[in-house]
Amino acid sequence: KSPDGVLVMIGANDAISYLYPATRPYYSQAKRVPEGYITPDQFEQSYRELLSRLQLAHIVTWVGLQPNEYSPDLVEMIGNYNARAASAARVHGIPTIDLMNQLMPEQLHDRPPFTMDDINLIGRRVRAHWHDYETARQRGGFTYTFDGSHPTPAGAGQIAELLADFLAS
């Protein structure tokens, strides 16, 4: 059975792998992404195709533009992917919520590029059922995420409230 509605909020990992070449082995091996990255143009084409398929299936669709607070470079790159998602949504007349804009902290900090060490840390934490989100958030100087990309439980609550208001409008 098809869903009645779908909120599409994708692109951060595509932006990460495009911006940070050291992460590409993960995306090519574990996620089977050719070359280990998706260019902005490839993302936009695939995004438009996805939205077309959802509309052809008569599924109510909304688009969420992904938030991020890792670094100015990554926020800029995700902003590029978000702009392409927003453009595709406009073409299809799909309502869009800009979570990046709504959750942007007052200041972003320069940080080193993501590497395989960062991706492996995420995997280790998942396997260990790690949940010390607040300590990681504070240590990293983040506002609603524990690593710049993944929300803390409180951050997820903020996002849920924004989405609930958006979907109700």
Q: What is the pLDDT of residues 113-122, one digit of tens each?
A: 999 999 999 9
pLDDT band at 145; cut points 50, 70, 90: very high
pTM: 0.95
Domain that holds residue 79: 5-168
Q: For residue range 62-92, what is the model confidence (pLDDT) as tens digits?
A: 999 999 999 999 999 999 999 999 999 999 9
Domain count along the chain? 1
In CATH, what number is assigned to the domain containing residue 115?
Answer: 3.40.50.1110
Q: Is the pLDDT of residue 1 over 90?
A: no
**Per-residue confidence band for 103, with pLDDT thresholds at 50, 70 and 90:** very high
Banded pLDDT at 162 (limits 50, 70, 90)? very high
Long-range CB contacts (< 8 A, 24+ apart) of 10-14? Answer: 10/47, 10/66, 10/85, 11/43, 11/47, 11/66, 11/78, 11/81, 11/82, 11/85, 12/66, 12/68, 12/78, 12/81, 12/149, 14/38, 14/43, 14/81
Q: Which residues neighbour 134 within 8 Å (Cβ) at sequence distance 6 or greater? A: 146, 152, 154
Q: Which residue, among 18, 7, 41, 17, has the nearest Cα to 116 in the 3D structure?
A: 17
